[in-house]
Structure 1
Amino acid sequence: MEKRQLGRTGLRVSRLGLGTMTWGRDTEVAEAAEQLKVFLDAGGSLVDTADVYSDGGAEYLLARLLDDGLVARAELVIATKSGSVPFAERRFDGSRGHLLAALDASLHRLGTDYVDLWQVHAFDPATPTEETLHALDLAVASGRARYVGVANFSGWQLAKAATWQHGAPGRVPLASTQMEYSLLQRGIEREVLPAALDAGVGLLASSPLGRGVLTGKYRHGVPQDSRGASPYLSGFVQPYLGERFRRIVDAVATAADGLASSPLAVALSWVRDRPGVAAAVVGARTAAQLTSALSVEALTLPDEIRSALDDISAPVRRYPDQDWNEL
């Protein structure tokens, strides 16, 4: 699998990443082991997790696979996230104390001395941005993280954070921002992606298959064995089942037929090769599903098909986003 630089850093990651959001809850040890083996055999390296995935269960499961000798620690680029908290009055805590304690807890669950990439899971308006970012500097200085980034920051939040980190010697530049990005969700193209490109921050695209909808599995209903039928994830899928999204899914299916490929491969290829994307992070329920996703490595969309998909999925652009000459 092709490797890419993560932003303007020396860290190289596989251009498809393995997501672990369901590990430890819907995905048990044996299935996770099979997925990781398939991923590694395909040349993958980036494994994405977070301290809140299955309440820490995903990190524990990954550690078990490392302990079992399925893979050497040095073969993986482990990325985890901290900052989400389960409190009704405060969903995110970006304070220095919380973040560093959360990182230590993640390292304990993962059974490792360091993570390759540590990201703040979301912006915390209750904490000064410079305090949050200082936690990233301390993590790198102490050797607990090799590179750092953010996730789910808006355009102005990302631009502010990236600029601050470049503002003085000793601060660690942001390597990444992780955001949802797919043919069904192109909102980051308005401000986040331009900010990332300008600042040299690599994009990790999560949910590149539109939360599974772009595979076409929901075109004729909700399969009982799908995430859309899961008590945990049905609300995650439901927002992308409307009429506008159905038209996009139909277009992807048409393109797949013309290429003798699959909707999954077409949708994933589109995201993977967008400007600024360092890696698309794919989560799978089974190793067979993951194998299908990894087959996209052989597919590059023709320009005319990419253009047609761009057109049908184009987000609404209004002032001040559109070109001045269009006003």
Structure 2
Amino acid sequence: MQQRRVGRTGLTVSDVGLGTMTWGRDTDEHEAAEQLEVFLDAGGSLVDTAATYGDGAAEEVIGALLASAVDRDDVVLVSKAGVRTRRTGDGGGVVDASRGSLLDTLDASLARLGTDHLDLWLVQSPDPATPIEETVGALEHAVRTGRCRYVGLSNFPAWTTAQAATLLAAGGPLGPGAPGLAAVEVEYSLLQRGIERELAPAARALGAGVLAWSPLGRGVLTGKYRHSVPASSRAASPHLRGFVEPYLNDHAHGVVEAVTTAASGLGRTPLEVALAWVRDAPGVCSAIAGARTAGQLRGVLAACDLALPDPIRAVLDEVTSPELGYPERF
């Protein structure tokens, strides 16, 4: 596995990251421990989580592993805040990127993780009710107080990302000690190339690295849904069905068939082809893939030695190219 710089920062991460969305819920501590061991043995370092994953259960599992089985220095720890659980207890979330909510969530995350700092802390979602200046001020405060080393945004549009980067720049209103915008974490796959319209070019211009979540198209690009919905799959899970269903359509089917054809020609799996395409896309410093079991993770890591031939990448680019128009293309 390669180590890459995150944007223009000094932070380095593995080019494939380990996602933990299912940890503490569908993946118990024993499976998580095996996954982390396999991942680190393969040269991985980036472990991605969020305060909302399992209502904090994923962070608790990671914290237990850091306390008993893993050296904290071997892990680049990424977590997210800005979405809090509803007090009604219905399992839903409320976007809240206010200063108090962000910093309270950060402190709770650190306590669950059993560490005094995150390597990278991200605001999980735009909050139209909170001024971006307040959100950015919380990020700056977190770095200044040592609770995180680098900061960034997740799922934000390009214009807000540029606004936040300007505020976080050393020459901006926060002064010479401002931390800068290190990274953006966004969904990116052969089924979701929307970031190429504006966000990816903006990130490159701003010096922010791209962390790509769901590079396997929420699991659909593995080919597991070509003919049916397996009973053990996310699409059959009550709490993840809605996450997968947007990509169970005719367009996605055509993309999956193209990926399957490419994989057959290379003697590889569709999963490996889909992951390699995202991992080596311009500006991407890490493709974050989650797995329910260690066996699934080994399938993901099998892609580490695959470099797609230029003709195959070109065909996949053409088949899945996002529609561009005014003003992106003038």
Measured against the shorter chain, the TM-score band is over 0.9
CA distance in 1, matches of 2:99, 2:30: 37
- Counting only pairs closer than 5 Å after superposition, residues 159-198 of structure 1 correspond to structure 2 as 159-166=162-169, 167=172, 168-198=175-205
In the alignment, what sits opposite 1:112? 115
In the alignment, what sits opposite 2:85? 86
CA distance in 2, matches of 1:148, 1:318: 32
Q: Are 2:55 and 2:85, in contact at CA under 8 Å, matched by a contact in 1?
A: no
Q: Are 2:259 and 2:316, in contact at CA under 8 Å, matched by a contact in 1?
A: yes
In the alignment, what sits opposite 1:129? 132
Identity of aligned residues (%): 58
Secondary structure at the counterpart of residue 153 of structure 1: coil
Secondary structure at the counterpart of residue 225 of structure 2: coil
Aligned-pair CA distance for 1:118: 0.6
Q: Deviations over 1:250-274 (max 9, x none)?
A: 0000000000001000000000000
In the alignment, what sits opposite 1:103? 106
Secondary structure at the counterpart of residue 184 of structure 1: coil
Aligned-pair CA distance for 1:86: 2.9
More displaced stretch, 86-95 vs 45-54: 86-95
Is 1:262 matched up with 2:266? no
2:304 to 277, 297, 303: 297
Is 1:313 matched up with 2:317? no
Q: Deviations over 1:45-96 (max 9, x none)?
A: 000000000000000000111122x210110000000010234998211111
In the alignment, what sits opposite 2:18? 18
In the alignment, what sits opposite 2:36? 36
Q: Give TM-score, length-normalised by structure 2.
A: 0.96
Aligned-pair CA distance for 1:25: 0.5
Structure 1 residue identity aligned to 2:307: T
Q: Are 2:290 and 2:297, in contact at CA under 8 Å, matched by a contact in 1?
A: yes
Is 1:140 matched up with 2:139? no
Aligned-pair CA distance for 1:97: 1.2
Q: Are 2:23 and 2:58, in contact at CA under 8 Å, matched by a contact in 1?
A: yes
CA distance in 2, matches of 1:199, 1:164: 12
In the alignment, what sits opposite 2:225? 218
Is 1:200 matched up with 2:203? no
In the alignment, what sits opposite 2:74? 75
Secondary structure at the counterpart of residue 77 of structure 2: strand
CA distance in 1, matches of 2:85, 2:25: 17
Structure 2 residue identity aligned to 1:45: S
Q: Are 2:79 and 2:118, in contact at CA under 8 Å, matched by a contact in 1?
A: yes
Aligned-pair CA distance for 1:316: 1.6
CA distance in 1, matches of 2:167, 2:143: 16
Secondary structure at the counterpart of residue 317 of structure 1: coil
CA distance in 2, matches of 1:161, 1:19: 25
Structure 2 residue identity aligned to 1:254: T
Q: Are 2:13 and 2:45, in contact at CA under 8 Å, matched by a contact in 1?
A: yes
CA distance in 1, matches of 2:53, 2:325: 36
Aligned-pair CA distance for 1:206: 0.1
What value does the CA root-mean-square deviation take over the aligned residues? Answer: 1.2
In the alignment, what sits opposite 2:159? 156
2:287 to 261, 280, 296: 280
CA distance in 2, matches of 1:145, 1:163: 20
Q: Give TM-score, length-normalised by structure 1.
A: 0.97
More displaced stretch, 148-157 vs 162-171: 162-171
Secondary structure at the counterpart of residue 132 of structure 1: helix
Aligned-pair CA distance for 1:171: 1.4
Structure 1 residue identity aligned to 2:131: P
Q: Deviations over 1:184-236 (max 9, x none)?
A: 00011111111101100000000000000000000001000100100010111
CA distance in 2, matches of 1:245, 1:128: 37
In the alignment, what sits opposite 1:4? 4
Number of residues of Structure 1 aligned to a counterpart in Structure 2: 322
